[in-house]
Structure 1
Amino acid sequence: MSSAVDVLTARDVPLGGPRSMTVHRTLPQRARTLIGAWCFIDHYGPDDVSVTGGMDVAPHPHTGLQTVSWLFSGEIEHRDSLGSHAMVRPGELNLMTGGHGISHTEVSTPATTVLHGVQLWVALPDEHRHADRDFQHYVPDPVHVDGAEISVFLGQLAGSVSPVRTFTPLLGAELVLAPRTETTLAVDPAFEHGLLVDQGAVRLSGTLLNRAELGYAAPGSRTLTLANETDAPARAVLLGGPPFGEEIVMWWNFIGRTHQDIAEARQAWEAASDRFGEVEGYPGDRLPAPALPHATLTPRKNPPLSEGPAMTEPAPTPTVRRVDERHRYAIEVDGATAGFTAYRDRDDRRVFFHTEIDDAYAGQGLASILVREALDDVRSSGKRIVPVCPYVAKFLKKHEEYADITDPVTPEVLEWLDGVLKR
């Protein structure tokens, strides 16, 4: 098996409301759906909560997966419909099982000034995807190997073994590498691995990874060599597991095997059925489920290892249209909605507050196409742009041709938008 490392770059995704913080998502994407049973990797921070408002995720459901919360700084209050009430703190694992159905909330605490960590999902194998609700908490003791401090929160590495129960073999560990050090770790050759760099620059088996990049190493190697290329400590998260051979359908917060699985879970959540239970103690409404796409959701799996990333498919043919009744521009690929950018109008200003591309269409440059055409439409309509949405703001920094019709985001606009969206 080749020892080559594939580099997967992150895309920015807003999480939350108008003052949403931005997370960097490396899984899933077009080139790779899973690493072992790991199917979702969000990396966020360091985030100044005085600016973004931090994390405030209202009650929402999950099926067919386990959630893994791991922080580098800050504190998050977790509540779920099993009755769990726990704090997520740096160096402490919280693992929640939402097989048949669970709901939960995540809120950064008032004492948090900087929020920084990862949110990870694990797909449950078919025979366990309707498992009962469960919650586990574990605080690993760090071990030291050749200039690396390693905290193993799932599986085993460097002689450290986590007692946390999982439904497939997994590895999850935080690694802090001393400046200019190289560490070689013995790993299971049946595992594929992903290394997410949080800070610094780390060379994985010869391939350089910068911050927020994910390096993928196929099964077959008995060791992984990590080298910190900087004069400061580097930090990374190492994930692994045997290739997950099943196809999955992943949409919103649900994982199933068919479109019907997802549709039934969505219907149960919208009907407030007992399937997901209730979360007590959150001072607000629960999140409504988004509308299902018009197209049938199809199962996805990784490309065969011999093929590498699936880049040989024909390029998509996207079209963008304004949907006035839903206050958004939608981008469609072959008749299916692939994403949208949402707005509200205030006099002659079009306030953009959220942009989202479906995970199935990630890595194709659709967000850039969508936003460019939306902003061109704003210009032709004689309106002005207010970029509350982090992605739109980032796009505008790179495209100065829209500067003449762009207005700043002010506290007054944010207060107005908050009121509009709560109606």
Structure 2
Amino acid sequence: MGSWGAILRHPGDFYPLMKLKMAASNAEKQIPPQPHWAFCYSMLHKVSRSFALVIQQLGTELRDAVCIFYLVLRALDTVEDDTSIPTDVKVPILKAFHQHVYDKEWHFSCGTKEYKVLMDQFHHVSMAFLELGKSYQEAIEDITKRMGVGMANFICKEVETIDDYDEYCHYVAGLVGLGLSKLFHASGAEDLAPDSLSNSMGLFLQKTNIIRDYLEDINEIPKSRMFWPRQIWSKYVNKLEDLKCEENSEKAVRCLNDMVTNALTHVEDCLTYMSALGDPSIFRFCAIPQIMAIGTLALCYNNIEVFKGIVKIRRGLTAKVIDRTRTMADVYGAFYDFSCMLKSKVDKNDPNATKTLSRIEITQKACRDAGLRNKRKSYILPSEPRYGFVPVVVLLIILAIILAQFLRSRSSNYCEFLSA
């Protein structure tokens, strides 16, 4: 759960955080008993807790397919991410990965921590994959093949132009959007969405991650990972890594704002895609990450901290997004809120200010025209109340009850141990 200091600063986070914690606990209890499925869902919780929570809302058949789709692509991405793998070894694996999912004996040791476990025991994922319906298997195989080839093409290719940037993001995330649309359609729950809209759903998320993860990627050992396009960063510095130097702070922020503005070009397509979804569980599955993305962009914009560490939305706000996202009105409202936050940070002297404000206005107009955004609570109320004396006492009482239950459980377990 979020830190107590953050909760005291944002008291409205407490209840959503408690609900999120209980939902996470319940999700972990619902892990299937079969060893290969147990591995897959346990691994899903380890590599992406937020995704694991959202996926639990899907129907069983579609949930299993999306779980395996995610783990297969997570494994593929682990191979691409591991800069210690020689190129002549990495490229063939990426290109053939769609075939490995059919091989219950295949595994490849790479990555670190939980990702290494995923790769070492990938046979569990293959076994689960082979139990999916044929239409799900075909969709996963097709996207994995296309993504593997695309990743391989960029192993020895720099992201030079904005077109290169869009192409790379298409291979690593746009195709994920296409794949998910195919899985939704295969389940019978949704019509097949246009590829252009599905692609934008992926690009918006991927570009947000690339912006947010600048420092982590540039400091990657043994070799930096560079995804910001030269066409953008070369307007501000001679080398991409120069953006993290303190003497280039002003230029770095200008470049950052340029990158955020580029990401905002996908917002209209994302809103159009989500507005066409009919299944409530699929809608929430798609909408929550998109709201988190626009919120992250608003947080990163004009923020020098991006070049000093990882900028993330606070845990309590994440809990609120998960708790409140039910309808398209919630999506329009959230996008409007975060675009207002972003707009308030635009410096009129920024070289991209006019373009940024234009993109924000397009987003806000789409939200206004829908006529739904006022039917929900705001995420960015400027006057969110602080805790007074009584709420603090209540909070401390709740904490004391939780602590007492924990100590009682520990005492009971100790007595059982002594009597054994």
**Which TM-score band (shorter chain)?**
under 0.3
TM-score, structure 1 normalization: 0.27
Relative to its length, the structure with more strand (as a share) is 1
Relative to its length, the structure with more helix (as a share) is 2
TM-score, structure 2 normalization: 0.28
Q: Which has the larger radius of gyration?
A: 2
